[in-house]
Amino acid sequence: MVLTQAVETRTDSALFELSEEARDMREATREFAEKRIFPNAEEWDAKSEIPEEIIRELQELGYFSMLTPEEYGGLGLSMLAYAVVIEELSAGSAGLGITVSVNNSLVIEAINLFSGDEVKKKYLPKISEGWIGAYCLSEPGAGTDILSISTTAVREGDHYVLNGSKLWVTNAGFSDLFIVFAKTDKEAGRKGMSAFVVERKSEGLTLGKPENKLGIRCSDTREVNFVDVKVPGENLMGAEGDGFKTAVGILNGGRIGVGAQAVGIGMAALDASIKYSKERRQFNQPIANFQAIQFKLAQMATRLEAARLMVYRAAALKDQGVAHHREASMAKLFASQAANYIANEGVQIHGGYGYIKEYAVERYFRDARITEIYEGTSEAQQMVISRDLLKDRRAESSRADN
């Protein structure tokens, strides 16, 4: 029997009051998740796909355009409300959570924050009407070291010609457009990278097979290849040489999305563990009576709460237009580690049943792993945080400043 989720561990404290918008979105998303995601997530995981009808339904409800301003047909949500939604979706299915998150925090935000009006007007309404996007930065030889990408874009008259290969591109299989990072000047270091919007139908753009992954199996991940792909000059995002700034800037928001995904996985694993520990009987009593289990639950809940508050705070700082890269990295680092800890302890609480597919905690354990890897590994987050601490005079004292 697959246990359905008794959702018991959400935050609604007076000290960190969510906006009305965030609370409304949470209610609506929770309702959707309980009806449409929780009952089906195991099957999507087993089949390694999300049914198209679910994607279409979420598009119609605006989930694929949450961060698009209303003037371009989106919901124009705050980052905080968005983080709450990603948490709820990811509790149901982390693979679905990242599918939605990539389209919003990497694709839409890249266009919205780092493109001129022409690109925004051309593509944001299309996404609101049903186009889906993917983000192509990583390559076979370039992961953490993004400056070592070897994809090139050469200007020829009124267009650019792209050549290269991008690896592990989430959503690639059903995307209509791709945000692609390429070198426009190999000698110019940070100033030598540029970003482009490339349409799926472009000649010379081909896709690899879906990757066979450990977790988030229902999300689509593949290679995208570019052989002499012509891209109109107007699809350059910002100015030539702005690509590095765009890639780094976008990942700040993306990290809040992945942090929220991790909180969602942790929440689902904790809820499943609370429920199971009350049901499972050993030595003539529920295992919840044993202090060893109670202390595990206490540790799991404490880390979940801390992770959630860090993610919400980073999101709130972004909404206020305040520098938030350190907080976004801290939130992603802590939340991803917390999700792995919670899912691991969740399996332990379930004993042997936690190791078989009948119980969702096995999936949470597999799904949590990726949150420490993509959109900057845990090591990369520590590089961002420590670099910032050592250069920023704000950090000479570690007292809270707000």
Ligand X SMILES: Cc1cc2nc3c(=O)[nH]c(=O)nc-3n(C[C@H](O)[C@H](O)[C@H](O)COP(=O)(O)OP(=O)(O)OC[C@H]3O[C@@H](n4cnc5c(N)ncnc54)[C@H](O)[C@@H]3O)c2cc1C
Residue from 48, 138, 152, 289 that binds ligand X (CB under 6 A)? 138
Q: Of 231, 251, 227, nearest to 331 (Cα)? A: 251
221 in contact with ligand X (CB under 6 A): yes
136 in contact with ligand X (CB under 6 A): yes
196 in contact with ligand X (CB under 6 A): no
Distance CA 181, CA 355 (A): 40
Per CB under 6 A, contacts with ligand X among 93-122 are 102
Residue from 92, 143, 164, 259 that binds ligand X (CB under 6 A)? 143
Residue from 77, 80, 169, 343 that binds ligand X (CB under 6 A)? 169
In which residue are the tokens 């493109």 written? 115
224 in contact with ligand X (CB under 6 A): no
377 in contact with ligand X (CB under 6 A): yes
Phi/psi for 149 (5° steps) reads -60, 150
Residue from 41, 137, 328, 347 that binds ligand X (CB under 6 A)? 137
Residue from 23, 122, 191, 213 that binds ligand X (CB under 6 A)? 213
What is the 3 state secondary structure string of 238-302? CCCCCHHHHHHHHHHHHHHHHHHHHHHHHHHHHHHHHHHHHHCEECCEEHHHCHHHHHHHHHHHH
- Residue 339, sorted as left (phi over 0), alpha (psi -120 to 50) or beta, turns out to be alpha
Q: Which stretch binds ligand X (CB under 6 A): 125-133, 134-142, 324-332, 350-358?
A: 134-142
Catalytic residue among 49, 87, 88, 375: 375
* Widest CA span in the chain: 79
168 in contact with ligand X (CB under 6 A): yes
370 in contact with ligand X (CB under 6 A): yes
248 in contact with ligand X (CB under 6 A): no
Cα of 106 vs its chain's centroid, Å: 8
Q: Is 375 noted as a catalytic residue in this protein?
A: yes
Q: How far is the CB of 304 from ligand X (least distance, A)?
A: 23
Q: What does each C-alpha distance from 65 to 163, 293, 373 come to in angstroms?
A: 30, 41, 25
Q: Do strands 281-282 and 152-156 pair parallel, antiparallel, or not at all (unpaired)?
A: unpaired
152 in contact with ligand X (CB under 6 A): no
Q: Of 70, 139, 67, 63, nearest to 99 (Cα)? A: 63
Q: Which residue is nearest to ligand X (CB)?
A: 143
260 in contact with ligand X (CB under 6 A): no
Q: Which residues are catalytic?
A: 375
* Binding stretches for ligand X (CB under 6 A): 102, 135-138, 143-144, 168-170, 213, 221, 370, 373-375, 377, 379-380
